[in-house]
Amino acid sequence: MTVYRILAAIVAALLYYLAFPDRFNECGFWVFGWIFAVPLFYAFDKTSLKLRFLLALLFGVISFSLTLNWSFGLSKAGGALFIAVLSMQPVIFALFYRRSPAGLLYVPCLWTASEYLRSLVMDGFTWNPGYTQSFNSYVIQAADIAGSYGLTFLLITFAYSVYCLIKDKALLYAAPVIGIPAAFFVYGHFALSDINISGPEVKAGLIQGNVDQGKPWDDEFAAEVLDKYAALSGQAASERPDLIVWPETSMPGDYYEDPALREKISQLVSKAGCQFVIGAPALEKGRLYNSALFISERGEVSGAYRKIHLLPFSEYAFREYPFVYRTLGILRCKRGEFSPGSEPVVFSLDRRSGVKFGVTLCSEDFYSGLTRELVDKGAGFVINMNNNASLGETTAPYLYLEASIMRAVENRRPVAQCSNAGISCFVSKRGQITACLEKNRKKLFIDGVTTHGLVPERARSFYTKYGSIFPVVCLLFAVILKAVHSRKEKR
């Protein structure tokens, strides 16, 4: 019997992995996002606490190691720690899991609450089954109400209902099995037909340099890198955009510390005749920041965003914790560790009066709260700038794209994703990809330019207004239902 439960946990992990996209299936088998938990419920049902713990850990380690294989490219020990922290969620769920008449509410509340608790531990990093539906245009529309947590809640409700329908053969569970997909698709149909994308556009040019990860940090290659970005920017400028975007850490040097580089950038921007956003390492007052520099048409920096949520084992190395720093074999930045920024920043476009936009850098696209803050500050669209060249052809670029789609729908804001190695594309507020850089049917590790229009938005979605109130409500319900059940057991 235990062997069957182990096999069930492994099957659940494989289904979870296959539900997400990778280079073999760019949209993922999103239907598995609806059913991956069914064998997991079988594995957890009527077992000891110790066995549930071990099965949950097995599920977490396998599913996250496969889905987030790129994390081991940053640091093997760091990647292992990342997987262990992520596995907290299924473990918490398993320890408190139970079947009961209230399970149809308790189980999805518990799963959603455990996802939310993990995000608090991870400084707001969101990762849940809801992301599996990013390429399902109908289902994803519901994210503008309760975000990815709302999608997760309904997916787990569906899976639990399927399990109970098979296990108990009670028609009660047929209602959510039929009703949840129907509700998703009905809401999605009306949302897609009702959401208008017409209006004045901001034309943006995204530069994908496909520059080797080490070159921007090496003075020997600075001229080569700058010449490449200058040539691609000239190509973009020929289409007369309002804004040209370079990816994260693309500037070959320190803008503030290198007068010659500063002059070259100024000339390049002035010649292009539009504003630029350039990813750059920037040393300010003795602190190194991973920054996005907003440069005016005159070639002067008129604003800067400094990355708030730094990536462990790549952008900082826990120097404040000597034991961790010494033992994890951490990959350090060549020019030192970055310091975190303090607040999100929105920039104003000179050519479009009143139009503002915000920037997220790299993995910050997974921090749903950050994008909400940008929209609250008036951002009409959002740009994610990333540099995942060192991660190779892993799942990372596709997962980043899923995050951009989720942020676009949650806040009903168009998102442009500009990457060094790919994927560089535009996502509408409906979550649909409207333009993407591609050569010979390839999106990764190519260079080029993609130019497209973004329609800035002002209206705020329900999710933007109320944020993560839904998982908090789920947490309260889970605690209350657990307490009521425990009290009944004591009687």
Alpha carbons 242 and 236: distance in angstroms, whole number: 10
3-state SS class at 361: strand
Q: Are residues 239 and 308 in the same domain?
A: yes
Residues in the chain, total: 491
List the Cα angle 117/118/122 in 5-degree steps.
120
| pLDDT tens, position by position, 423-461 | 999 999 999 999 999 998 899 999 999 999 999 999 999
Question: Does 460 fall in a domain?
Answer: no
pLDDT of residue 282: 87
Distance CA 387, CA 374 (A): 21
Are residues 19 and 124 part of one domain? yes
Residues 183 and 274 placed together within one structural domain of the fold: no
**Distance between terminal CA atoms of the chain?**
31
Same domain, 448 and 477: no
Task: Say if residue 316's pLDDT is above 80.
Answer: no
Which pLDDT does position 339 carry in this prediction? 87
Q: Confirm whether 373 is domain-assigned.
A: yes
At a CB cut-off of 8 Å and minimum separation 6, what does 131 contact? 20, 148, 399, 402, 403, 406
Count: domains in the chain: 2
279 and 144 co-located in one domain: no
| CA neighbor of 203 nearest in space, from 266, 275, 265 | 275
Q: Which of 222, 111, 188 is nearest to 431 (CA)?
A: 188
Note whether 77 and 329 are within 8 A (CB).
yes
Claim to verify: residue 142 and residue 272 sit in the same structural domain: no
Tokens 């066995």 correspond to 51
Can you tell me the distance from the alpha carbon of 473 to that of 63, in angstroms, rounded to the nearest whole number?
27
Residue 69: pLDDT band by 50, 70, 90 thresholds? confident
The percentage of residues in the chain with a pLDDT greater than 70, rounded to a whole number, is 93
Per-residue pLDDT tens over the stretch 246-305: 999 999 888 888 899 999 999 999 999 999 999 998 888 888 899 999 999 988 999 999
Q: Quick one: 215 exposed, middle or buried, by C-beta within 10 A (0-12, 13-18, 19+)? A: middle
Tell me, yes or no, whether 182 and 229 share the same domain.
Answer: no
Encoding tokens for residue 64? 């996250």
- Percentage of the chain with pLDDT > 90? 71
Q: For 227-236, what is the mean pLDDT?
A: 96
**CA pair distance 147, 115, nearest whole angstrom:** 13
Which CATH number does the domain housing residue 257 bear? 3.60.110.10
Rounded Cα–Cα distance for residues 404 and 56 (Å)? 29
Q: 3-state SS of the chain: helix, strand, coil percent to 5?
A: 50, 15, 35
**Closest C-alpha among 25, 388, 413 to residue 212:** 388
Sheet architecture: strand order including 356-361:
346-348, 356-361, 381-386, 415-419, 425-427, 433-436
Whole-angstrom distance, CA of residue 471 vs CA of residue 121: 15
Residue 344 placed within a domain? yes
pLDDT attached to residue 329: 42
State residue 65's pLDDT score: 95
* C-beta separation of 393 from 427 below 8 A: no
Q: Is residue 462, in this structure, part of any structural domain at all?
A: no
Asked whether residue 295 is domain-assigned, the answer is: yes
The answer on 260 and 387 residing in a single domain is: yes
Quote the crossing angle between the two packed helices 143-168 and 469-490, to the nearest 10°.
Answer: 30
Sign, CA dihedral 11-16-20-23, equals negative
pLDDT tens-digit readout, 131-182? 999 999 999 999 999 999 999 999 999 999 999 999 988 888 899 999 999 9
Domain membership of residue 26 as a residue range? 2-195+468-490
Residue 299 and residue 152 share a domain: no
In the prediction, which pLDDT does 332 show?
43
Q: Domain check: are 346 and 408 in the same one?
A: yes
* pLDDT the model gives residue 216: 60
Q: Does residue 461 belong to any structural domain of this protein?
A: no
Kindly report the average pLDDT of the chain as a whole number: 90
Q: 50 in a domain, yes or no? A: yes
What is the DSSP code (8-state) at residue 149? H
Q: Do 146 and 208 have their domain in common? A: no
Asked if 220 and 298 sit in the same domain, the reply is yes
Q: Strand 287-295 to strand 275-284: parallel, antiparallel, or no bridges (unpaired)?
A: antiparallel
Ranking 68-77, 167-176, 353-362, 367-376 by mean pLDDT, the lowest is: 68-77
Residue 310 lies in a domain: yes
Q: Is the dihedral of CA 387, 308, 75, 58 positive or negative?
A: negative
Sign of CA dihedral 480, 368, 352, 416: negative
DSSP 22: B
